[in-house]
Amino acid sequence: MILFPAIDLKEGACVRLLKGRFEDKTVYSRDPAAMAERWAAAGAEWLHLVDLDGSLGDSRANRQALLDIRARVKIKLQLGGGIRSLEDADRWFDLGLDRLILGTVACERPLLAAEIAARHPGRLAVALDAVGRRVRVRGWLEDGGADLFEAAASLRDLGAALVIYTDVERDGARLGPNLDHTRDVARAARLPTICSGGVASLEDLAALKPLAADGVAGVISGKALYEGSLDFAAGQALLREP
């Protein structure tokens, strides 16, 4: 199981939101590439990047920060937020991103998501961000009209390589992960699943480890890593233990 440090980008800075609320943000660094170097030096295999402005339609605000991150670290990068077309996907892959994450597009334009997956096999993830069982879209601001577990069950048909499940109500709140929904998403999707939202401690990671048997392959953490309630090296070591 892999621990993914999260770098959420807003107006070129590394931030964290509380429960997805754009007005409730904490800025952790004005140099996201330096933050990426910090996680790479700590032994991260992947970074989870989110273009928050892109999710609201502004594809320019964080472009340079993302390019700087790619130039300064050699580890693998996955990016979500603002990918709305085949051309967007092609451009990011051409610039060296290893995996792209679709949320709104996968929910509203599944044929486009399938086209991107077919063009870049094994490199597309789908984000299922939910409040309860309701999938959220457009930066978590709108109801996507889909049931979480029904949406998860449809992802193999899209050609998705994995699914990222976020409990929006726990994101940034350090309330612990939603173990039941994480397990049920993984079972419904029958794809490797990454858990996001609420992870605050080594105890939370220990609680997630048994879900590897259900297909849970990774954990994303942001605020807990930045504020010190979760040590990256210790967390990664725990997840790598048999």
Q: How many CA atoms lie within 13 A of 143 on its CB side?
A: 7
Cα–Cα distances in angstroms (integers) from residue 239 to residues 7, 69, 156, 217, 236, in the given order: 20, 25, 26, 10, 5
The catalytically annotated residue of 51, 53, 129, 184 is 129
Rounded to an integer, what distance in angstroms lies between the CA atom of residue 209 and that of residue 206?
5
Query: Which residue type does 166 have?
Result: T
The DSSP element (H or E) to which 47 belongs, if any, is: strand 46-51
In Å, how far from its chain's centre is CA 28? Answer: 18
Place of tokens 């990671």: 205
Helix segments in 58-170, DSSP class H: 63-72, 86-94, 104-108, 110-119, 148-153, 155-158
Pairing between β-strand 13-18 and β-strand 21-29 as defined by DSSP bridges: antiparallel
- Evaluate whether 137 touches 104 at the Cβ level (below 8 Å): yes
Nearest CA-CA partner of 199 in 222, 231, 177: 177
31 flagged as catalytic: no
Nearest CA-CA partner of 98 in 162, 19, 15: 162
214 flagged as catalytic: no
Residues with catalytic roles = 8, 129
